[in-house]
A and B are shown apart, each in its own frame.
Chain A
Amino acid sequence: MYRYDDIDQAMLTDRAAEFREQCRRRLAGEITEDQFKPIRLMNGLYLQLHAYMLRIAIPYGALNSAKLRKLAWVASTYDRGYGHFTTRTNLQLHWIKLKDAPDILDALAGVGLHAIQTSGNCIRNLTADPHAGATADEADDPRVWAEAIRQWSTFHPEFSFLPRKFKIAVTGATRDRAAIRIYDIGLRLHRAADGELAFEVLAGGGLGRIPFLGPTIRERLPARHLLSYLQAILRVYNRLGRRDNIWKARIKVLVATLGAEEFARQVDEEWEASDKAAVDLPDTELARIRAGFAPVGFETLPPVSAAFETAKLDDRAFARFARHNITAHKQPGYALIDVSLKAIGETPGDCSAEQMEVIANLAERYSLDEARVTYEQNLILPHVKLDDAPAVYRLLADADLATPNIGLISDIIACPGLDYCALANARAIPIAQDIARRFESPELAEKIGELKIKISGCINACGHHHVGHIGILGVDKKGEEFYQLTLGGSGEDDASIGQSLGPALPAERVAPAIDQLVEVYLRERTTGERFIDTYRRAGLAPFKEAVYAEAH
């Protein structure tokens, strides 16, 4: 993967030095909390319920063993020995001390990690297809472009005080594994009929209080003009986005208000008036970045591995793991292995320092020194030889990282919720734990098949509840935790926003309600239908009836 050169590195060191000075001024009383708060937020440092939380950026979810080891070291040295991977592919440490924050940023900078722009109304950490560079259905490697955007958006002088935060997701594949329709800008690389590499550009998606799926504003943007076109979008948004109402400040509201066509027209007008050549990267620079992502170290292997096939026959648990956690690679004889951070009864997305070490070792030894973070709060070892898969599986299993549940009912997204988050209305984690325990049986989970449950502790929707097949939103009813269920959401190719099932339920009713929903599905489904397909065919009524029957 791309390695930061002296310049990228200098940016991180300069930033860490700046923050050290700012912290010093705050601790000495030279600046007030009101002045300091936006500064610390721009360095990813929040004050949560119990302590400070540091949100470390993992640009486009790309990790290697050195980064993972450093994260493990920071988690055990400065925190309580664990971290939480989020739907933004960031890592959050929940127990940080302000006085340690400058040292932490220094340590992270040493391996090319940072907390730049993980908060504040700026262009946030980029997300990308976690299968990038490993999947056959890809027109181009999205990481090349994600890195270009990362550099362009870092300390952008014009776009660091936008109306609201701004999130970009990139994919190069036909299958959307980056949820590009729920972001402020979604980018999909494709090759046009004449061979030109181009982006389909979506703008104005986003969850939160008013969820929208982003419409396409340009079908075919020549890839080399990506940055100038992004500048045009950001400039239109910076100038016209609402600033009087925080709930209407995201670009989705601007796009919806103007209409996608009119918004696109204004962007085009701005783009045509701009000096594109001043913004777009020269080919040499793109080639330099691209070289950083060139595949290295793949061996020529037969597409079928005898060791892998035998292991599946010999070990039913491994066969199950292979069915759910192993995906085909574009390189013959290789596979992507999903590392589940959803062990039954554990906190979704949490990873202990020891587990990070294990994954670092596996990445280094078996995956060409790469690991990825997915927005579904799991990790991926992207380049594992099929021959090695059984060994990797065993080592993952020893560290409780091999739950065979990717895409299944216990692979639940949950935000930190009221257990940590100062903005929360209700807890999310215990709800996820309850549900996962109820569907602990791998046979049952497999029988149910793909079912995506997503839980947010408040309307900010960090847990993507709107696009869960079953979405769960924590609400505060007179100070008590209640949960609003939605059905039929999806964040991927068949993206849709979920519909409310009915009145909010108290905490102890949520897991039983999921049981009832699943029962209806198992009863109603026809061959091959996933939960969401049955819902789309049969509608809300049978599900609603099952959950609210007693109330009638």
Chain B
Amino acid sequence: MKALTANRLTDGEVVFWKQGQWLDRFADAELFDDEAVAEAAEAHAKTQVTLLVEPYLIDVAEVEGGVAPVSYRERLRALGPTNKPEHGKQAQGGAQIEILAHAHGAASSKGRIDLIKRK
């Protein structure tokens, strides 16, 4: 399963794709079972240059209670910094945030590594 994410150009906020819209919460993200559909959405996102920076697909998996990004880094992006629970998306709290916060398992996120190299 995949989801499409990016940072919003104007404020850097982490956003997720849902049927043509960009929303703040991972809980709202559209989940792609079909790679081709996911890639088409990504290709479209890459043309939205005045809206986004660096859109990329992330792996998503089922976890206890719901779904969560596979990589630890992506879960942090969907939550906020662990040293300041009052900042970032996690501040809203709620069941969806709890699911993310308690998800286990991990993998590196390739999207970001790309970012590093081009720096």
Contacts and interface: CB of A to CB of B under 8 A. Distances in A.
Direct contact of A and B (CB under 8 A): yes
B77 A479 contact: no
B95 interface: no
Contact of B83 (A49, A433, A476): A433
A33 interface: yes
A74 interface: no
A8 interface: no
Given A97-B10, A422-B115, A27 B50 contact: yes
Interface residues of A, number: 38
Interface string A407-447: 00000000000111011100101100100000000000000
A41 interface: yes
B12 A347 contact: no
B76 A418 contact: yes
Q: Count chain B CB atoms within 10 A of each CB in A37, A419, A423 and give the residue with the most.
A: A419
Nearest to A345: B83
B112 interface: yes
B12 A50 contact: yes
A49 B107 contact: no
B13 to A, nearest CB: 7
B24 to A, nearest CB: 11
A99 interface: yes
B10 A29 contact: no
A96 B83 contact: no
Contact of B11 (A97, A476, A478): A97
Contacts of A433: 83
B12 A97 contact: yes
A98 B119 contact: no
B10 A420 contact: no
A434 B100 CA distance: 22
Contacts of A37: 118-119
B116 A49 contact: no
Interface string A265-278: 00000000000000
Interface string B1-37: 0000001011111100000000000000000000000
A456 to B, nearest CB: 15
Contacts of B115: 47, 422
Contacts of B12: 47-48, 50-52, 96-98
B50 A480 contact: no
Interface string A384-421: 00000000000000000000000000000000001110
A476 B80 contact: no
Interface in B47-87: 49-50, 53-54, 70-73, 76-77, 80-84, 87
A450 to B, nearest CB: 26
Contacts of A347: 83-84
A419 B82 contact: yes
A94 B84 CA distance: 12
Contacts, number: 92
B87 A80 contact: yes
B58 to A, nearest CB: 12
B81 A420 contact: yes
A30 B70 CA distance: 36
Given A41-B119, A422-B116, A480-B106, A27 B72 contact: no
Nearest to A430: B82
B108 interface: yes
A86 B20 CA distance: 39
Nearest to A81: B87
Given A98-B10, A422-B115, A47 B83 contact: no
Contact of B108 (A427, A429, A479): A479
A166 B114 CA distance: 23
A28 B51 CA distance: 10
Contacts of A32: 49
Interface string A16-53: 00000000001111001110010001000001111110
Contacts of B13: 50-51
A138 interface: no
B63 to A, nearest CB: 14
Given A33-B49, A478-B106, A429 B11 contact: no
A418 B106 CA distance: 14
A95 interface: yes
Q: Count chain A CB atoms within 10 A of each CB in B10, B72, B83 and give the residue with the most.
A: B83
Nearest to A433: B83
A461 to B, nearest CB: 15
A370 interface: no
A50 B49 contact: no
Nearest to B51: A29
B11 A99 contact: yes
Interface of A: 26-29, 32-34, 37, 41, 47-52, 80, 94-99, 347, 418-420, 422-424, 427, 429-430, 433, 476, 478-481
Interface of B: 7, 9-14, 49-50, 53-54, 70-73, 76-77, 80-84, 87-88, 105-108, 112, 115-116, 118-119
Given A49-B14, A479-B105, 17 more contacts: A26-B9, A28-B50, A29-B50, A33-B49, A34-B118, A37-B119, A47-B54, A52-B11, A97-B12, A99-B10, A99-B11, A418-B72, A427-B82, A429-B81, A430-B83, A433-B83, A481-B72
